[in-house]
């Protein structure tokens, strides 16, 4: 598994969990009248889902060195763009582990 696959899998899991939570609350509040407590609950759940997605994505750690990765552009479409390579958004800033480098098993 590469670092790119590791991060994408982590983001996918978080996104699915947040979407399921929002869908569950939405299914219970769909028939609520406008301005009711249930409508505010739905809005709050959406915001909490979005914040949890951002929180988990920003807390990712490098499996090799354990340092916080921060923002790395894991998009396949932009992986060869010069500005991403120049900015260092394609590797861990601490140990230099590249997104397409294999991660040894057990890390």
Q: What is the pLDDT of residues 5-24, one digit of tens each?
A: 888 888 888 888 878 887 88
Q: Is 20 domain-assigned?
A: yes
Q: Which conformational region is residue 96 in: left (phi greater than 0), alpha (psi within -120 to 50 degrees), or beta? A: left
Q: Is 73 domain-assigned?
A: yes
d(CA 31, CA 41): 13
Write down the pLDDT at residue 84: 53
Structural domain boundaries, residue 53: 3-87
Q: Average pLDDT of 21-48?
A: 80
The number of distinct structural domains making up the chain is: 1
Q: What is the pLDDT of residues 47-104, one digit of tens each?
A: 887 888 778 777 778 888 888 777 665 665 555 666 555 555 677 778 878 778 888 7
Q: Is 75 domain-assigned?
A: yes
Model pTM score: 0.62
Element (H, E) at 93: none
Q: Is 7 domain-assigned?
A: yes
Q: Is 96 domain-assigned?
A: no
Give the per-residue SS3 of 43-86. Answer: HHHHHHHHHHHHHHHHCCECCCCCCECCCCCCCCCCCCCHHHHH
Q: Is 99 domain-assigned?
A: no
DSSP 87: H
Write down the pLDDT at residue 23: 83
């Amino acid at each position: 598994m590469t670092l790119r696959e590791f991060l994408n899998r982590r983001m996918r899991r978080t996104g699915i969990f947040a979407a399921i939570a929002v869908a569950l609350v939405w299914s219970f509040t769909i028939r609520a009248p406008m301005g009711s407590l249930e409508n505010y609950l739905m809005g709050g759940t959406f915001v909490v889902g979005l914040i949890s997605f951002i929180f988990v994505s920003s807390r990712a750690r490098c499996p090799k060195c354990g340092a916080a990765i921060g923002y790395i552009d894991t998009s396949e479409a932009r992986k060869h763009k010069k500005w991403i390579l120049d900015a260092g958004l394609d590797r861990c800033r601490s140990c230099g582990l590249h997104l397409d480098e294999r991660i040894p098993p057990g890390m």
